[in-house]
A and B are shown apart, each in its own frame.
Chain A
Amino acid sequence: MTEALLAESVSVMRGKRRVIEDVSVRADFGAVHAIVGPNGAGKSSLLRALAGLLPSTGNVKIEGQNLRALTVSERARRIGWVPQQSALASNVRVYDVVAQGRFAYRTGWSHFVPHAEPEIERALAAAEVDHLRERPYNQLSGGEQRRVLIGRALATQARILFLDEPTAGLDLVHVLRLHRLLRSLADSGTCVVSVLHDLGDVQRNADHVTLLSAARLVAQGPTHQVMVPTVIESVYEVRVCPNTAPGFQLREAAP
């Protein structure tokens, strides 16, 4: 697989506290990469630093180019950012929210975002929010809002997608739909990097895992190699028991 992101010795300070210490990450195109760890491990800080949204030390390369050498617009065209929850609280139409993804492509001396571009239509369809296009953003459910934000990130045409806890606060159905969407994006060649909490979700949906604990990297590699009982027990301070009881697994119903 082609390398999308390569970060070496990344450290992040917040005030006097070091929230990420000497972490190196690699993520490839066509794969879902999960960043996991206990609360306070520094997952979201690492994601922000990799996206260039938080000052950091170390070296981050996006598609082979140094992140710091990119302009704000160039960075936005390469990395799609999906926050856990948008600060957008106004009744802006879904279409206009997704169209904001085209901001980095504006031309000339004005700051007008070009409207009616085919990329916006494609992003609306890919994020499955086409039917919501005229609805005000602040009247959507949490799951719908999350998909609109993914649509906005897709409209940037970035081949790297960063998501900060995309399943937080979502009900079962929306979690399943979101993971299906992320998988289809990865299958189409996108590099998906996502902070996840649910280890079951990670095992089922991620190809690679970066495991953090107390601001440091604990393990990194294919999911089946990282998410093993010994590692989980040491990081999360729990005891992993084999699942002997009859259980069930959830998936989406066929349309």
Chain B
Amino acid sequence: MRRLDHESVLVARTGGPPPIAPSVNNGRHISRWFWPCVVAIFVGSVTLGLLIGKGSLSNADLKDLFLTMRMQRVAVAFLAGAALAVGGVIAQGLFRNPLADPSILGTAAGASLGGQSVLLGTTILLHGRGPTAILPEMVTPLGCIAGASFALVIVLMVSARGASPITLVLSGFVLSSLFISCGSFLSSMAQENWELMRALSAFASGSVNGAGARQVILGAILVLGGALPAWLWSSSFDVLLSGEEEAASLGVNVNRVRLWAVIWASTITAGAVAVGANVGFVGLVVPHALRRFVGHTHRVMIPAAFITGGCYLVLCDVVCRAIPVRNEVSLAAITGLIGAPLFLIMLLRMHAESRYD
């Protein structure tokens, strides 16, 4: 059958296949010190979160109250950080773009606008007559999910037209600006109602100050409800890194995976925004820092981003509390100060690489 004649004069010296290396570890290639370090960071950040803040723990009467308040604040910051970091991992896998992040793609701004719209809508519709059981915390998350999904779907449509990574980022920036403008417009409309205006502003404030048990429960439901299924589908995201055609050839139902990825990313981003932590760049900073330790495998990346993202925001919140100013420094200011320069460096590096491709 084979028609290869063996009458060569010149012989290619390939030397045949190299000798087979002894079988090594299957599946894991991260350092054995990685997870102990993550646990140490978790314990350290939570301890700092409980110890640092206004008010002295030496006062026996107020110690329990301070600890409870700080614990709730630490829990909310942790959940929000975990959500934004995992949201970044999912978005980066979905768009195959290391610059994708809920705050950059407009997902967080969409969630914020969605929450604000629902809050305003329910207040106007009920006009004080509705059932008091419908608390803002119960209805606004639905608006946040809808807003985040809307933003992600628009960006996905831009991406489906073959947009470059930088075009995608610009589209997200435009969407973010649009949503923030709409949010400001809504806040202006609610000027007559001081309580409502304060609630609307809280969405855009980017602070976990004053977080209570309600926010902890709400955040836990939304964040875990999005992060856990995303982790279970991590192999689909791994295969999607090869592009849609290859993923389909390997058995990935691309449309279904994209749909669910949008739903989970929206749910967890909504979780972060609904508890008040509409802060930027967490989903950019944390996965970027983790990749050199855990690689690109989502099965490891998602839980690692969950824990370290949570710790990152808890530590950022500790910094907010530790800076001695009259009112606390905004959490969004700290994350922006760290994230924005990193984003710029990554953007310039990507631009330089694309020029030499």
Do A and B interact? yes
Given A81-B249, A83-B246, A88-B243, the answer on whether A250 and B235 have CB atoms closer than 8 Å is: no
A172 within 8 A of B: yes
A133 to B8 CA separation, bound complex (whole angstroms)? 33
Given A91-B295, A95-B26, the answer on whether A101 and B20 have CB atoms closer than 8 Å is: no
Tally A residues with Cβ within 8 Å of B: 64
Binds A, one of B11-19, B39-47, B125-133, B265-273: B11-19
Q: Which of B25-49 contact A (CB under 8 A)?
A: 26-27, 29
Name which residue of chain B comes closest to A155, CB basis: B250
Residues of A within 8 A of B235 (CB): 100, 103, 106, 111-113
Name which residue of chain B comes closest to A106, CB basis: B235
SS of B interface (majority):
loop
B249 touching A76 by the CB < 8 A rule? yes
Residues of A within 8 A of B238 (CB): 92, 96, 100, 113
Q: Which of B235-285 contact A (CB under 8 A)?
A: 235-236, 238-239, 241-243, 245-246, 248-253
B250 touching A156 by the CB < 8 A rule? yes
B242 touching A121 by the CB < 8 A rule? no
A111 touching B27 by the CB < 8 A rule? no
Residues of A within 8 A of B252 (CB): 72, 103
Given A87-B242, A88-B242, the answer on whether A251 and B12 have CB atoms closer than 8 Å is: yes
B297 within 8 A of A: yes
Given A87-B243, A131-B21, the answer on whether A172 and B12 have CB atoms closer than 8 Å is: yes
A79 touching B249 by the CB < 8 A rule? yes
A183 touching B2 by the CB < 8 A rule? yes
Contact among B2, B7, B233 for A249, CB-based, below 8 A: B7
A244 within 8 A of B: no
Contact among B7, B29, B232 for A109, CB-based, below 8 A: B232
Name which residue of chain B comes closest to A205, CB basis: B4
A249 to B4 CA separation, bound complex (whole angstroms)? 9
A253 touching B15 by the CB < 8 A rule? yes
B237 to chain A minimum Cβ distance, whole angstroms, is 9
Contact among B12, B17, B19, B233 for A250, CB-based, below 8 A: B12
Residues of B within 8 A of A249 (CB): 5, 7-9
Name which residue of chain B comes closest to A80, CB basis: B249
A122 to chain B minimum Cβ distance, whole angstroms, is 12
B28 to chain A minimum Cβ distance, whole angstroms, is 9
Q: Which of A60-109 contact B (CB under 8 A)?
A: 72-73, 75-77, 79, 81, 83, 86-93, 95-96, 99-101, 103-104, 106, 109
A100 to chain B minimum Cβ distance, whole angstroms, is 5
A13 within 8 A of B: no
A112 touching B234 by the CB < 8 A rule? yes
Residues of A within 8 A of B239 (CB): 100, 103
Residues of B within 8 A of A112 (CB): 232, 234-235, 299
A196 to chain B minimum Cβ distance, whole angstroms, is 14
B10 within 8 A of A: yes
Contact among A72, A87, A251 for B4, CB-based, below 8 A: A251
B61 to chain A minimum Cβ distance, whole angstroms, is 50
A176 within 8 A of B: yes
A72 touching B241 by the CB < 8 A rule? no
A26 within 8 A of B: no
A201 to chain B minimum Cβ distance, whole angstroms, is 10
A133 touching B21 by the CB < 8 A rule? yes
A79 to B296 CA separation, bound complex (whole angstroms)? 26
A203 within 8 A of B: yes
Closest 6 CB pairs of A and B: A255-B16, A87-B243, A104-B251, A76-B251, A81-B249, A248-B9
| CB pairs A–B below 8 angstroms (26 shown) | A72-B253, A76-B249, A76-B251, A81-B246, A83-B245, A86-B243, A87-B241, A88-B242, A91-B295, A100-B239, A100-B250, A101-B250, A106-B235, A110-B232, A112-B234, A116-B26, A134-B29, A172-B12, A183-B2, A204-B5, A251-B12, A252-B12, A252-B16, A253-B12, A254-B16, A255-B16
A→B interface (CB under 8 Å): 31, 48, 51, 53, 72-73, 75-77, 79, 81, 83, 86-93, 95-96, 99-101, 103-104, 106, 109-113, 115-116, 120-121, 125, 128, 130-131, 133-134, 152, 156, 172-173, 176-177, 183, 203-205, 207, 223-224, 248-255
B→A interface (CB under 8 Å): 1-21, 23-24, 26-27, 29, 96, 232-236, 238-239, 241-243, 245-246, 248-253, 295-297, 299
Given contacts A92-B241, A173-B14, list 13 more A-B pairs with CB under 8 A.
Answer: A77-B251, A87-B241, A95-B27, A99-B27, A100-B235, A100-B238, A172-B12, A176-B14, A177-B14, A183-B2, A205-B4, A248-B8, A249-B7
